[in-house]
Each structure stands twice: as structure tokens, then as C-alpha cells.
Amino acid sequence: MLDQAVKRIKSGDVVAFPTETVYGLGADARNRDAVDLVFRLKGRPADNPLIVHISEIKQLFDFASEVPEAALKLAEKFWPGPLTLVLPKKSEVLDIVTGGLPTVALRMPDHPLALDLIREADPLVAPSANKSGRPSPTKPEHVEADFGKKIMVLDGGACKLGLESTVIRVDQNEITVLRPGHIDPQEIESVAGLPVKTEKPDPSKAPESPGMKYSHYAPDAQVELSTDLPAKFSSDTFYLIVPKMSMDTETPENVILYSNNYSKLAEELYDRFRQADLQEYKNVSIIGLREADETGIVQALLNRIRKAQS
């Protein structure tokens, strides 16, 4: 399978592959036509740039024109893993990859199949392997649901984290979180030795990470965020309940209890969105996520759920 995938990538085709976060739709980052195919297949706007996936830290220098000390420290600490670094790009990095921006996003995924593929083929651009606007795929069957059988999928089973990587821009004096993820901002701050700010969406300003302006991750069902349990469960709603609670009767099949297990919710969220559509629920109601909780994972969950609502 790997050999065939490598051949396809080298011939300019795309291959879907697992990472620890979500499945990626991989193509040779140095082949303009292959990258263009990724945009066309996904139906992705040209101004939404792609992440270049590498297999060794030193490849940072092939794509970034400047690598601040802090970026290297972060790569050494968190790679392979769910962290994406946005750095000034080298002039030879294709404009189609970066959506014309002067920066490039780089990450080393923590998955043996992904690393083998990158090592044998080349650095890969890899957006999440879903049609634009749909929930990201965390299982091979999600990729097939969006694209049919025409795209080769390397099967790595279910992804262990389930939400996309934390995206940060590393400047000389500060770091900006462009997309929250599993890694806590405080941890980034202490490893990098630089202050970390989180980009709060300001509708009057152009977003710094273009992807953040698009609706995303959305099932057909209406997604609701709620602080309290409903007086009565409604049969047309799929409930994902975060806090610990016990039920007097048997838990109905449209109610999933997470007992404060945020990692489990993150791992399952997109699969639950897709399940809601397959089972034709009108609504998905996620109950009890606390805004005040500033951990990476809760902020990442809230961020994806809000995008699914917009």
C-alpha cells in the first residue's frame, strides 16, 4: 500500500493518509498541479493556504526563510505532534501553497504511516481530507463518504486526537495562536519563552489565518451549544453531554455522556457530527462546555463547534 501511495504522490496524484489529528489529503508540496488538484477536489477557496507536512525538523529550513530560536525549541519539544508553525516563507515555496501569503505553515505529524509517506515521497501539503465545509475526517470511511472511492486512502484506523493541530505564528517577540488545538497556550509560552496571545476574532479586521473566516466542520444538523440540560430530551436531537451526570433510567441512544472526558469528546466530535446526519437528527446539542476553561482542548472544541454553527 505504501509503495503505491508513494508512486501516486510522485506522479502528481493525491493520497489520503492518517495523522494523529485527522486524515489529510496529501500531495507533493513542490508540484503546482498536484497542489491545484487538492484545491479542486476539496472545493477549497484559493486564499486558504495549506500546511506543509515534513518528517524531519531540519526540513523547516527548506521552506522557512527565518526560523526563530523559539520556533526551533517548540519543534524540538512538540514534534512529531499536533503543532503547526507559521513562519516567513522562502521565495521558492509555491504561492498556491501559501495562498499568496508571505508565510508558510509547517508541521511534523505524529503517525508512522504519515511519516513513512513523507519520507519516501516528499514533503506533502495536507489539508484535512474532507470536502470544504464538512467535518474533518477522523476515520477512513469519512474520506470515502466525501470523495467516494476515487481517492486512495491509507488506512490507519481512527485518529487518536480527533481535532486539527494548534496553529501558531512565531514572531521574534511573541507568538499568536491562529487556531486553538490540544496543546495548551501556557505550555507553548513556557517552552518558547515568549508571550502567547490568542487571536480573538474581530469581524472588522481581516483574519490572520484565512481558514478561520470560513464556516467549517459543519454537519447538516443544526449545532447548538448549551450550558444547561434541557427539561426534557427531544427525540430529534443528538445530545453530547460533557459534565458528569447520572441518569435515573437507562441512557437513551440519542444521549452520549462524556463525564468530563474532554479528550474523548475531541476524539469523537466529528464522527458524532457525521453520525447525527446519518441518523437524520435535526440538531446536535453539546452541553456543558465552559467558556472560562482556557485549556487548549476546551478552546479548540468551542472554536470548532462555533465554526460548525456559523
Contacting residues toward ligand TXA, per CB under 6 A: 19, 21-22, 24, 48-51, 82, 84, 86, 98, 101, 103-105, 107, 109, 126-128, 164-165, 167, 178-179, 209-212
Q: Is 21 in the site for Mg ion (CB under 5 A)?
A: no
Closest CA to 180 of 153, 223, 211: 211
Shortest-Cβ-distance residue relative to Mg ion: 128
Which one, 105 or 242, has the nearer CB to Mg ion? 105
> Which grid coordinates are listed for 289?
462546555
Which one, 73 or 131, has the nearer CB to Mg ion? 131
Distance from C-alpha of 104 to C-alpha of 100, rounded to nearest angstrom: 10
Minimum separation from the CB atom of position 114 to ligand TXA (A): 8
Which one, 140 or 241, has the nearer CB to ligand TXA? 140
Residue 253: CB atoms within 10 Å: 9
Which one, 27 or 286, has the nearer CB to ligand TXA? 27
Which one, 105 or 255, has the nearer CB to ligand TXA? 105
Contact of 47 with 69, CB cutoff 8 Å: no
Minimum separation from the CB atom of position 165 to ligand TXA (A): 4
Q: Is 128 in the site for Mg ion (CB under 5 A)?
A: yes
Residue in the block written with cell 495536507: 126
- List, in sequence order, every residue forming a beta bridge with 223; answer none if it has no partner: 284
Amino acid at 106: L
Minimum separation from the CB atom of position 292 to ligand TXA (A): 25
Stretch touching Mg ion by CB under 5 A, among 13-21, 87-95, 120-128, 146-154: 120-128
Minimum separation from the CB atom of position 51 to ligand TXA (A): 5
Q: What SS3 state is found at 286?
A: strand
Minimum separation from the CB atom of position 6 to ligand TXA (A): 18
> Which grid coordinates are listed for 239?
445530545
Residue 92: CB atoms within 10 Å: 9
Burial of 291 (0-12, 13-18, 19+ CB in 10 A): exposed
Stretch touching Mg ion by CB under 5 A, among 66-74, 75-83, 126-134, 192-200: 126-134
Q: Is 19 in the site for Mg ion (CB under 5 A)?
A: no
Contact of 271 with 136, CB cutoff 8 Å: no
Which one, 59 or 283, has the nearer CB to ligand TXA? 59
Dihedral sign computed on CA atoms, order 91, 92, 94, 97: negative
Minimum separation from the CB atom of position 137 to Mg ion (A): 9
**What is the DSSP-derived secondary structure letter of residue 47?**
T
Binding site for Mg ion (CB under 5 A): 128
